[in-house]
Amino acid sequence: MTSVPFAATAASEWTKLTSLRSTRIVAALSVALALAATTVGAILTGRSWDSWGTAARADFDPTVYPLIGGIFASILLPILGVTAVTAEYSTGMIRLTLTATPRRGRLLLAKTSVIAAATMLVGLVTVLGMFVIGQVVYGLYGLDAANFGDGGTLRALLGSIVLAPVFPIIAVALATLLRSTAGAITTILVAIFLPSIVGSLLPDWWRENVVAVLPGPAIDTITISHLTDVESSLPTGVAVLAVAAWLGAFLGAAQLAFVRRDA
Amino acid sequence: MIEVRELSKRFGDALAVDRLSFDVRPGVVTGFLGPNGAGKSTTMRLILGLDEPTSGSVTVARRSYRDLPAPMQEVGALLDAKAIHGKRSAHQHLRWLAQAGGFPRQRVDEVLELVGLAAVAGRRVGGFSLGMQQRLGMAAALLGNPQTLLFDEPVNGLDPEGVLWVRNLFKGLAHEGRTILVSSHLMSEMEETAEHVLVIGRGRLLADLSIGEFTQRSSGSHVCVVSPEATRLTSLLLEQVGSAVTSNGDGGLSVAGIDTARIGDIAAEHGIRLHELTPQRASLEDAFMELTRESVEYRAQPAAEKIGR
């Protein structure tokens, strides 16, 4: 009897995720809202450009500004990570899942990988869509547009795509720890928005040494800090380490709890 | 083969499973009986590695469940037929399970056919009746063609035709040499299916015997005798075999501890006429009630007592 390969577990989790209509709705809504917000934002920029002052015009970056719509994907995609875990507990299906795959470490890894792949795919469509829409609209209004070939642009787009799964993965870990949809969604939204809400209220030292290493600001550092001013910034290498450390910490805690607890 | 050794599971203050030891052998259907709350489901979860034992061990095919390299090919289980995601179709539900076991897509169609759900494969399982969900659960358990099968209260919600189907399925599976453990809180359900029974109450093993032994052990077994010479027969029986005889008037006797053949022989030797000689086998239900009387966790007050207050 040959043992079951990891790919089989991952394929199973992929089928679970994609066979639910709610997954497709959340993914489609993420893309649609992001592109709509970016379109509106770019049109408003184009129409009001003549009234912009020199300082505002100097701040404007044609790569960064269209990414504004990404906020919708940031809010919606973690929901996929949460429900992929909590739906198993609320239905009781987790017992069937663990009977089929009793190796819990592997199961959580498969679930995380599948969520990462799916959200990166949605991230790819969203980021490229927002960028293209932005450049087309700016072109129509005669503004400077960005190019894929620009080094800075490429880093921003690739970074945004590759890091799209960070919060969804943290969401998987939180849902595994909390086993509650409402609890996990609330916590992940707080984690996403708290830095930008309280960050500006804090003294400089706190902003530079504490807020900056939180996942959200660290992601911004990696993706757009070379093109525009961000609230709190780290050296890029440190920001990469910070994101990796957060992922490791959340997944590590989730693994420990998942392996030890009774299903 | 399932081997349970000194298995205990504590939830807070409650000892749900208390030093259980038994084997479930291949080739027969083993009934796992006990009142509600006796620890049957907990034991099944422990066998499947879903819960960690507080102490003791349990192995399937000589390995702890979590260490099985291909668990679905070794063990199939149906714990709770309703514990599924209602928004998936029957086919999608079995598809992810098949993938988790590394089985090809066609295996899904095979088991759907086997349990009679092929026609509704594309329908969402949330709309299924409990009976259909039980069938879907059977299909899931059979996906890996496993040697060992566990079913927790599998006939709940089935219509009579479904109950018959399940009984025949279990017998057929046992006939193929598989190990089958079926839990129930209803003894009558096991009468038709199980050849061996494990009875537990309050987490403890109360009996581990064949179904025949189980009934015989019950004190309710006796022979009903009617004779016009009841008084003479009574003294003979008391003298010769020392069996317990109770008279219920009109020449009727209730004799325990001796079989019909022996009573007939003794009567014939002494020329005593018998009008009736009937073995009164205690039903499994009675034997079960007797065995678990002490260990029922939630019991209704006897009606008379309640009214009297």
B16-66 per-position pLDDT tens digit: 999 999 999 999 999 999 888 899 999 999 999 999 999 999 999 999 999
Average pLDDT over residues A194-204: 84
Lowest mean pLDDT among A2-6, A200-204, B76-80: A200-204
The runs of H, that is alpha helices, within A19-165 are 21-48, 54-59, 70-91, 94-100, 104-140, 151-162
pLDDT beyond 90 at A111 = yes
Q: What is the ipTM of this complex?
A: 0.92
pTM listed for this prediction: 0.86
Query: Is some CB atom of chain A closer than 8 A to the CB atom of B14?
Result: no
pLDDT beyond 90 at A99 = yes
pLDDT beyond 70 at A184 = yes
Domains in chain B (CATH in brackets) are: 2-216 (3.40.50.300), 222-280 (3.30.70)
Q: Which of B85, B133, B143 to mutate to test the interface with A (most CBs of A within 10 A)?
A: B85
pLDDT beyond 90 at B261 = no
DSSP class of A4 = P
Instruction: Verify whether the Cβ–Cβ distance B96 to A15 is below 8 Å.
Output: yes
Instruction: Verify whether the Cβ–Cβ distance B99 to A2 is below 8 Å.
Output: no
Average pLDDT over residues B261-276: 90
Decide: helix, strand or coil at residue A60.
coil
Decide: helix, strand or coil at residue B11.
strand
CA dist A11 and A15 (Å) reads 6
Residues of B in contact with A95 (CB under 8 A): 45, 48, 50, 79-80, 83
**Predicted local confidence at residue B54, as pLDDT:** 96
**Predicted local confidence at residue B217, as pLDDT:** 67
Query: Is some CB atom of chain B closer than 8 A to the CB atom of A48?
Result: no
**Predicted local confidence at residue A131, as pLDDT:** 97
- Report the candidate in A119, A113, A87, A99 with the shortest Cα–Cα distance to residue A10: A113
Percent of chain B whose predicted confidence (pLDDT) is above 70: 91
Instruction: Verify whether the Cβ–Cβ distance B69 to A9 is below 8 Å.
Output: no
**Predicted local confidence at residue B305, as pLDDT:** 46
Residue B197: pLDDT band (50, 70, 90) is: very high
CA dist A10 and A23 (Å) reads 17
